[in-house]
Amino acid sequence: MSDAPTYEQEPTLTQLETSLVEQGMHQGRPYAVLEDTVFYPEGGGQPSDRGRLNGIEVIDVQKVDGLIYHLLEAPVASGPVILEIDWQRRFDHMQQHTAQHLLTAVAADQFGWQTTAFHLGEHVSDIELDVKSLAKSELCLLEETVAVEVRAARRVSAHRVSLDEYERMEVRSRGLPTGHSGDVRLIEIEDIDLNTCGGTHCVSTAEIEAIALLGTESVRGGTRVFYVAGERLRSRIGVEVFRTARLRSLLGVSDDQVVDAVEARVDQLKDKARLIRGMEEELASALAWQLTVEPEAVSVRHFVGKGLSFLQRLGREIVSLDPGRVVLLTSDDSGEGFFLLSAGEEADINVSEVGPRIAAVLHGKGGGSGSVFQGRATQFSRSDEAVALLR
């Protein structure tokens, strides 16, 4: 393979005919090494390309010991090889990666914020800046400043220089890999940035289309800035518009009233939840009194629509009223099954020993300590066997 594979020289090329050099197995997958490739191997914060090799799915591309491994869905036959990349994925990565270069350059040169890390995610990408925090106004100003450079349609180009040339140039870089030798690849945004990078990029800042900064979070003493660019941004706007329309329809309000309406509904739900908790506490107290007057020392009850927290509350009430009582409570709450075994301090039972046996009978699992053993259950038809263990 030449020093500069086709994905570097012609990042917009989507097909290539080449030849097979080597094939084998790598980490349980068939791989192929080719004379040349249009597939970008993962590196520099950019994920690898996807596509097809003689019709076989290329599921990953990695550099291994200096070679580019095309990891395949199935082995490839010997002979000529035709490559086809997933262009939508490639162009998305070009937009997000070029956007990162532009963000990094503008943040550093116009605001003094240096980029310390970059991550190109599946849905959202981010850069980490060496600033403790960013106010909303600062984030908006950064976004507006970057938008000016996107509209300027600045040319983006790639070229290689010798190591000696590189060391004499003013290049934005976090340093070359340890032991690097040979040429250095540079990505230049006209009059804005010159950076070391091996990734694929747009040919103009205009191809980025637009960049939106979504928010920030503190990380390692700096600030992570989340962003989307290009088609991702257009797609995200479409999703948000559709979501807002649905909320507007459900709530019966206008766009600018959606947030207030949702907050009002949340407050109503909180009030209802408090009311339900109060009613469950009253129900647990009443049931506890009812069960403690039963002649048998073992109380057993099954509930529908009650969660584990209700069983815990009822169990505490019962053994508090009658320290000599043993309680086995089960419930089915929207398809989820729960059980609780509890014993008062005067009860003649070893809960830690019996609890796992109860769980096994009910086809469940659980844990506990002292006088309580609780968990999930899936087979309440065998409850009689569980009760027999107690009695």
Q: What is the pLDDT of residue 369?
A: 79
pLDDT 10s per residue in the chain (391 long)? Answer: 346 899 999 999 999 999 999 999 999 999 999 999 999 999 888 999 999 999 999 999 999 988 999 999 999 988 899 999 999 999 999 999 999 999 999 999 999 999 999 999 999 999 999 999 999 999 999 999 999 999 999 999 999 998 888 888 888 887 777 777 788 999 999 999 999 998 999 999 999 999 999 999 999 899 999 999 999 999 999 999 999 999 999 999 998 899 999 999 999 999 998 998 899 889 888 999 988 888 888 889 999 989 899 999 999 999 999 999 999 999 998 888 999 999 998 988 899 899 999 999 999 999 987 899 999 998 888 888 888 888 7
Please say whether the structural domain 280-390 has been given the CATH code 3.10.310.40.
yes
3-state secondary structure the chain: CCCCCHHHHCCCCCEEEEEEEEEEEECCEEEEEECCCCCCCCECCECCCCEEECCEEEEEEEEECCEEEEEECCCCCCCEEEEEECHHHHHHHHHHHHHHHHHHHHHHHHHCCCEEEEECCCCCEEEEECCCCCCHHHHHHHHHHHHHHHHCCCEEEEEEECHHHHHHCCCECCCCCCCCCCCEEEEEECCCEEEECCCCCCCEHHHHCCEEEEEEEEECCEEEEEEEECHHHHHHHHHHHHHHHHHHHHHCCCHHHHHHHHHHHHHHHHHHHHHHHHHHHHHHHHHHHHHHCCCCCEEEEEEECCCHHHHHHHHHHHHHHCCCCEEEEEEEECCEEEEEEEECCCCCCCHHHHHHHHHHHCCCEEEEECCEEEEECCCHHHHHHHHHHHC
pTM: 0.73
Please say whether the structural domain 91-237 has been given the CATH code 3.30.980.10.
yes
Q: What is the pLDDT of residue 1?
A: 38
For the chain, which residues make up each domain, given as ranges?
6-85, 91-237, 280-390
Top-level class of domain 6-85 = mainly beta
